[in-house]
Structure 1
């Protein structure tokens, strides 16, 4: 059993404090724990309490790391896990942080997938967007449900047409061979992640409309 002889604020980080026992440095922890645990000068502190404080301090640091990451941009559960593992937090702590974030609706892969698709389908095909979400760790079933919610949307078709028309107008300035023109358009749209059927429908419309202009 040790006796707390001093609690001082960290000069470089005002949210953290250093605890001294019997005139010797004992540990550093978040200031939040001083109030939660009622730690004061003269208080007796044993090994079990020290371990509890260290465990809670680790959780607070992991929680703050996750929150800072989410402040910049929305993240998937796997991305937050990866971030915390890079910081070498243990799995139990990571699980606690993820549970907290979900409880407060700060982490929701279903919502993330839906918003991501709505944004990205303005610049690429569903196939490419799906691959990106899977790479971010979104579960296949969650992704399927997000796609179902957008099933009746014409966003992908409209974007595919706009991108194809813009590319067509650019290519026409330097490519006169109809076959090469169509081939280049197909390659461009496939690279954007559009499916064969949508590409074919889009190209037929653009090429037909273009023929009618002459």
Structure 2
């Protein structure tokens, strides 16, 4: 099945996509290729957008980091989202290397918002809370600290 030739140029389509929201370079390339643009056209469109600073993986990654924190996600979940969006590993590594955010405090705030000050009275409740926090992308040390769990689980 052939994809019909798009009416507008790849550059116009790229600018239209970026006018709606930021994209990662790989994400924009995939969208343009899926719309039927030739790889050469896509490369030119991406290069144009980078030249004008409309497309910047570092800025996009920083925005994802801030949005993930606002959603109550942990470092692991945010990193996974960045990888899914196609942000280069080097950009991700650099962003988290420069990061001075207190992930332990963030985990405590997320747990407090979800559970308040209600105590964990059963092992089942403890396991449920641990699973919730881990599903949010917090590592085990952050989860134990946030929930006040001292024992080995």
What's the TM-score once normalised by structure 1's chain length? Answer: 0.61
The number of aligned residues is 143
Q: Which of 64, 89, 92 is matched with 1:143 structurally?
A: 92
What does the per-residue CA deviation read over 1:163-213, in whole Å, with 9 as the maximum and x for residues that have no partner? 21132238x4xx8633222211111100101111111111118x9xxxxxx
The equivalences for 1:1-214 within 5 A come to: 61-122=9-70, 123-150=72-99, 152-154=100-102, 156-169=103-116, 172=118, 177-204=121-148
Runs of 4+ in structure 1 deviating by more than 6 angstroms, as ranges, are none
Deviates more, 1:188-197 or 1:119-128: 119-128
Structure 2 spans left out of the alignment, 5+ residues? 1-5
The answer on whether the counterparts of 1:114 and 1:147 sit within 8 Å (CA) in structure 2 is: no
Higher-Rg member (1/2):
1
What's the TM-score once normalised by structure 2's chain length? Answer: 0.84
State the structure with bigger RCO (CA 8 A, min sep 6), 1 or 2: 2
* CA RMSD of superposed structures (Å): 2.1
Larger strand proportion, structure 1 or 2?
1
